[in-house]
């Protein structure tokens, strides 16, 4: 039987608790405690309070609950979530103003938002803590944005700025296709792969930078069309390959330099080139009516990346 040290909390009652109490307490409210709580603090934090009525235990329990809810990691993750949500909102607003003032046209605005949203989201992941809950906090960003797209896509509310900066023709229903698929892919990858594996990082980079630059370059310089797809061009596909390839290498270097992933750089170029090549070929096929690029590009990237990098630990 474990006996607790005498302490103010024990002034009125003295109780000894079985080890299960100790383990229950350590696995309960105090789990998030940023320092090893003392025996008495754990006793007061846990259900043991029902044995004690002294005010000092109530105060200790209150401090315990507060410190476990507002532990440094939760404060860091909540802050990173707010920063990312603010970044997402600001990004759309900035391109709403640029489109409004005819600085850039609507199609270019949509593609630049397409490129920057995914890249900046992946780039922001190191802001989150190393706790198990960090990816849950990070997933709140695409989750809330998907709700936003559904609400405005169904015209349950109006946001002219959002519609102008992320739709081709200004039809709110467009939000429910490409943009919504895009944000749901961000949600899937942040939960499934997070920053522990190159799979999610490369796939989101191919979807945002690769597919985005294919459109930006292809629309302008795509004179030589692909033999099997008259809507797409060699310039667009080459732009997708090289922008996806170099941006993926850069993002992987960023994450490995921060120590989040360990990579064998001796064959990294070949592996990333393979993923980028497969995604580029899939994007070039005339399957847009059946499967949106914002699904086919990340899906083919994920499958190829798992093949060359292995299955990530969840
Ligand atoms: N490999 C590619 C991809 C795109 N394009 C050019 O970019 C335009 C739009 O490309 P697409 O991928 O179809 O973008 P959308 O599906 O229209 O836009 P989004 O992905 O944002 O839904 C194409 O008509 C074409 O002019 C190209 O030349 N070569
Ligand atoms: C136009 C788009 C796709 C069509 O191919 C992209 C739509 C983007 C959403 C409107 C906003 C998504 C924001 C991200 C979930 C989070 C970005 C955070 C970052 C820090 C800016």
pLDDT tens-digit readout, 39-63 = 444 444 455 444 444 666 677 777 7
Decide if 191 contacts 247 (C-beta within 8 A): no
121/140 Cα distance (integer angstroms): 12
Ranked by mean pLDDT, the top range of 4-8, 13-17, 55-59 is 55-59
Do 129 and 165 lie in one domain? The reply is yes
Do 119 and 145 lie in one domain? The reply is yes
Do 154 and 259 lie in one domain? The reply is yes
Which of 166, 168, 214 should be mutated for ligand 1, with most atoms under 8 A from CB? 214
The string of pLDDT tens digits covering residues 82-94 is 999 999 999 999 9
Q: Give the count of domains, the chain.
A: 2
Q: What percent of the chain has pLDDT over 90?
A: 71
With a cut of 80, say whether residue 13 has pLDDT above it.
no
Do 208 and 63 lie in one domain? The reply is no
Q: Residues 214-241: what's their mean pLDDT?
A: 97
Do 116 and 52 lie in one domain? The reply is no
212/214 Cα distance (integer angstroms): 5
Q: Among the three residues 27, 50, 67, which one is the final residue of a domain in this structure? A: 67
- Contact residues of ligand 1, CB 6 A cut-off: 110, 114, 178, 214-215, 218-219, 222, 231-233, 236-237, 240, 283-284, 288, 293
Structural element, H or E, at residue 184: helix 178-192
Output the CA 221–ligand 1 centroid distance in Å: 12
- pLDDT at residue 11, as a whole number: 35
The string of pLDDT tens digits covering residues 140-198 is 999 999 999 999 999 999 999 999 899 988 999 999 999 999 999 999 999 999 999 99
Output the CA 29–ligand 2 centroid distance in Å: 36
Residue 131 belongs to what domain range? 73-309
Decide if 116 contacts 94 (C-beta within 8 A): no
User: For residue 179, which ligand has an atom nearest its CA?
Assistant: 2
Do 158 and 220 lie in one domain? The reply is yes
* Joined tokens for residue 54: 């002294």
- This prediction has a pTM of 0.83
Do 150 and 230 lie in one domain? The reply is yes
In a domain, 2, yes or no: no
Do 184 and 86 lie in one domain? The reply is yes
In a domain, 314, yes or no: no
């Amino acid at each position: 039987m474990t006996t607790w040290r005498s302490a103010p909390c024990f002034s009125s009652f003295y109780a000894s608790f079985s080890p299960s109490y100790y383990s229950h307490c350590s696995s309960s409210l105090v789990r998030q405690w940023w320092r090893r709580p003392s025996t008495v603090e754990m006793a007061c934090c846990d259900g043991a309070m029902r044995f004690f009525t002294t005010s000092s235990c109530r105060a200790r329990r209150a401090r315990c609950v507060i410190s476990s809810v507002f532990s440094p990691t939760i404060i860091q993750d909540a802050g990173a979530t707010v920063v990312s949500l603010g970044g997402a909102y600001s990004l759309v607003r900035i391109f709403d103003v640029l489109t409004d003032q005819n600085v850039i046209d609507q199609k270019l605005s949509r593609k630049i938002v397409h490129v920057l949203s995914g890249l900046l989201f992946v780039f922001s992941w190191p802001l989150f803590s190393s706790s198990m809950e960090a990816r849950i906090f990070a997933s709140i960003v695409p989750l809330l944005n998907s709700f936003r797209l559904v609400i405005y896509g169904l015209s349950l509310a109006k946001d002219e700025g959002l519609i102008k900066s992320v739709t081709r023709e200004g039809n709110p229903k467009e939000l429910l296709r490409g943009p919504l698929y895009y944000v749901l892919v961000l949600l899937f990858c942040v939960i499934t792969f997070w920053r522990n594996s190159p799979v999610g990082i490369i796939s989101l980079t191919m979807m945002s930078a690769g597919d985005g630059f294919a459109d930006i370059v292809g629309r302008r310089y795509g004179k030589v069309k692909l033999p099997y797809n008259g809507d797409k061009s060699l310039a667009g596909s080459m732009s997708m390959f090289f922008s996806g390839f170099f941006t993926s290498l850069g993002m992987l270097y960023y994450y490995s330099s921060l120590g989040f992933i360990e990579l064998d750089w001796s064959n990294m170029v070949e592996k990333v080139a393979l993923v980028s090549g497969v995604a580029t070929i899939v994007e070039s096929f005339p399957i847009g009516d059946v499967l949106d690029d914002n699904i086919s590009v990340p899906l083919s990237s994920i499958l190829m990346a798992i093949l060359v990098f292995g299955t990530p630990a969840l």
